[in-house]
Amino acid sequence: MSSYQYDVVVVGAGPSGSMTARYAAAGGCKTLLIEKRQEIGSPVRCGEGLARHFVEDTKMPFDQKWVGREVKGAKIFSPNGTELTIEEAHAGNEVGIVLERDAFDKAVAKEAAKAGAEIWLKTTATAILKDDGWVRGVHAKRLEEEMNIEAKCVVAADGYESQVGRWAGFKTLLKAGDITGTLQYRLTNIGPGHDFPDYCEFWLGTIAPAGYIWVFPKDDMTANVGIGVSLDRLKNRVDIKGYLDRWIAQDPRMSRAQPLDMVTGGVSTAPPIKKSVGNGIALVGDSARMIDPITGGGIGNGMLAGMILGKVLAKCNEAGDFSEAALMEYEKGWRAKLEENLYRNWLAKNKLVTLSDREFDDIIQVLAEVGVHKLSVRAILKVLKETKPELVAKFAEFI
Amino acid sequence: MPEQVVSIRPSVRDNGIMAIDDMLCMHCGACVGTCPTNAIFLNEVYLTFNEDCTQCGMCVKVCPVGAIDYPRGHKLHTMK
């Protein structure tokens, strides 16, 4: 069996993994990025919404190639059709750019390659190498070849599945209420209405129990139309598809729409994990449950954490110390940026999922009349408290 | 009305633990991350269940395209 030696091996070439590899390699680590699939960025597994600031924050060179469409903001629809429009500057972390994820993931990987990282495709990690309380690398299969990839640090960026972390003993198991199943069609030949295609749309209520339906425009007549439903609201096989198909069938804009592709996936809507580093290992992105529990968006958070991790790995390499204590700098770094918001949104999500259609209608109605200047849980609750305090009784602790 | 030919579902692999329809599976990994006992293995395009499975059914529900079912003979089996 062959054996390879690296400073850092990153498992998974999504945005988080590639961003980690880029900053680790740029900082002087001999870095290997492995991807089990035959193509980076494909198949796409998400709604592709991203706020512009993440691109700047992680110093991604802007390229029109990975921009599907730039939108003016977001529209939120209550079950009775009341429309709340929020302009981009205030619209939160998943609104601004609708990406071409297949091109975007390749662009992030390209930055990793430019920084000096090696990339192997069709390479699946099948186990981790452990020794004396340390993770020493991964066992992997590349086409026919079985190998040990020894590394001073393994980065688990293997997405929602989070296998590498589990093998290493991290608690990444999720409760049913913190799991969302998603299905999305890229629909074309969509007709006009609700200012399509200028806004990312979010449709709330029992049409998507404890989740929502999104319409993210890709061009003048094409959009990602998808649904997320919480696992604890699903009863039977193919329930998710039934919810989405029924909604599409009743939207007049979609009466002649046809699918170009279909995307599925699992999303965590969990609180941040308790621990993301160990001796010789760190978790990043979806595998570390960094997804926003309200929106289900994870690209931006994952890239930000990846950048922090890559820089910390470079420091660890210089010091020759990849121990848990040394990697704590990464854990502290991402928590400082993300943890409070993730935890607050998880608490708020647990309240939101208890709202009835009627309550959503009332809330959106008030917000549409009064206007919201910032799409954050706290800002919205403040507006509601001033106008209809009885609506926000459930959320008293957040204000 | 044209005569119906014999209908088979050759794409279903049923190992007695769980059943997977390979023609429906999108290999997205939603079931893998959901599984509380880590009993599902997915390499790029091949999903399989091992004996750690407790048939809790979380994967059956979370699969957005209904590619996973209880095995044939199980009282909750619904694949035709």
Closest to B10 (Cα-Cα) out of B55, B76, B40, B19? B19
Mean pLDDT, residues A66-93: 89
First to last CA, chain B: 22
- Residue A55 inside a domain? The answer is no
A69 pLDDT more than 90: yes
Cβ–Cβ contact B76 with A under 8 A = no
User: Which tokens sit at A168?
Assistant: 């290493």
Contact status, residue A328 vs residue A308, Cβ threshold 8 Å? no
Is the same domain home to A28 and A107?
yes
Number of domains in chain B: 1
Between these two residues, A149 and B79, which has the higher pLDDT value?
A149
Range name among A26-40, A93-107, A219-233 with the lowest pLDDT average: A93-107
Is the same domain home to A40 and A147?
yes
What are the start-end ranges of the H helices in A73-139? 101-114
- Report residue A91: phi and psi, to 5°: -95, 5
Q: Test A162 with B33 for CB contact under 8 angstroms.
A: yes
- Residue A229 inside a domain? The answer is yes
End position of a domain, from candidates A268, A302, A330: A268
Cα gap A44→A50, rounded to integer Å: 14
Closest A-chain CA to B30: A266
Number of domains in chain A: 3
Angle at A307 between CA B43 and CA A288, to 5 degrees: 45
Of the pLDDT bands very low, low, confident and very high (cuts 50, 70, 90), residue A390 is confident
Partner-chain residue, chosen from B27, B29, B43, that has the shortest CB–CB distance to A266: B29
End position of a domain, from candidates A233, A251, A268: A268
Q: Test A266 with B44 for CB contact under 8 angstroms.
A: no
Of the pLDDT bands very low, low, confident and very high (cuts 50, 70, 90), residue A95 is confident
Q: Test B61 with A162 for CB contact under 8 angstroms.
A: no
- Residue B77 inside a domain? The answer is no
Of the pLDDT bands very low, low, confident and very high (cuts 50, 70, 90), residue A356 is very high
Cβ–Cβ contact A181 with B under 8 A = yes
Closest to A247 (Cα-Cα) out of A219, A188, A206, A217? A206
- Residue A23 inside a domain? The answer is yes
- Residue B29 inside a domain? The answer is yes
Of the pLDDT bands very low, low, confident and very high (cuts 50, 70, 90), residue A96 is confident
Strand duo A2-11 + A31-34: pairing: parallel
Q: Test A241 with B64 for CB contact under 8 angstroms.
A: yes
Q: The domain spanning residue B49 has which CATH number?
A: 3.30.70.20
Is the same domain home to A261 and A179?
yes
Domain that holds residue B33: 12-69
What confidence score (pLDDT) does residue A137 get?
Answer: 97
- Residue B6 inside a domain? The answer is no
Contact status, residue A40 vs residue A105, Cβ threshold 8 Å? yes
B68 pLDDT more than 60: yes
B7 pLDDT more than 90: no
What confidence score (pLDDT) does residue A399 get?
Answer: 58
A272 pLDDT more than 80: yes
Chain A positions touching B28 (Cβ under 8 A) are: 43, 45, 263-266
- Tens of pLDDT, residues A56-67: 999 999 999 999
Cα gap A88→A70, rounded to integer Å: 10
- Tens of pLDDT, residues A129-155: 999 999 999 999 998 899 999 999 999
- Residue A391 inside a domain? The answer is yes
Q: Testing the interface with A: which of B61, B65, B69, B77 to mutate, by most A Cβ within 10 A?
A: B61
- Tens of pLDDT, residues A363-380: 899 888 887 766 677 777
Of the pLDDT bands very low, low, confident and very high (cuts 50, 70, 90), residue A1 is confident
- Residue B17 inside a domain? The answer is yes
For every residue of A187-246, DSSP letters joined together read EESPPP-TTTTSEEEEE-STTSTTSEEEEEEEETTEEEEEEEEEGGG--STTHHHHHHHH
Range name among A57-61, A241-245, A291-295, A388-392 with the lowest pLDDT average: A388-392
Q: The domain spanning residue A169 has which CATH number?
A: 3.50.50.60
Is the same domain home to A118 and A170?
yes
Is the same domain home to A214 and A331?
no
Mean pLDDT, residues A340-359: 92
Listed in sequence order, the residues at least 6 apart from B8 whose beta carbon sits closer than 8 Å to its beta carbon are none
Chain A positions touching B32 (Cβ under 8 A) are: 160-161, 163, 266
Of the pLDDT bands very low, low, confident and very high (cuts 50, 70, 90), residue A101 is very high
Closest A-chain CA to B24: A238
- Residue B38 inside a domain? The answer is yes
Is the same domain home to A42 and A129?
yes
- Residue A197 inside a domain? The answer is yes
- Residue A53 inside a domain? The answer is no
Smallest Cα distance from B3 to chain A, Å: 29
Is the same domain home to A37 and A106?
yes
Is the same domain home to A255 and A280?
no
Helix (H/G/I), strand (E/B), else coil: A159: helix
ipTM comes to: 0.90
A80 pLDDT more than 80: yes
Is the same domain home to A289 and A372?
no
Is the same domain home to A11 and A146?
yes
Q: Test A45 with B33 for CB contact under 8 angstroms.
A: no
Of the pLDDT bands very low, low, confident and very high (cuts 50, 70, 90), residue B6 is low
B8 pLDDT more than 70: no
- Residue B2 inside a domain? The answer is no
Is the same domain home to A257 and A139?
no
Interface of B with A in 36-65 (CB under 8 A): 36, 38, 42-44, 58, 60-65
Cβ–Cβ contact B33 with A under 8 A = yes
Cβ–Cβ contact B9 with A under 8 A = no
Domain that holds residue A362: 355-398
Strand duo B12-14 + A49-50: pairing: unpaired
Q: Test A161 with B66 for CB contact under 8 angstroms.
A: no
Range name among A71-80, A198-207, B41-50 with the lowest pLDDT average: B41-50
Cα gap A150→A6, rounded to integer Å: 6
Q: Test A181 with B63 for CB contact under 8 angstroms.
A: yes
Which residue do the tokens 């850092």 mark?
A: A8
Across chain A, mean pLDDT equals 93
Is the same domain home to A311 and A364?
no
- Residue B54 inside a domain? The answer is yes
End position of a domain, from candidates A306, A323, A347: A347
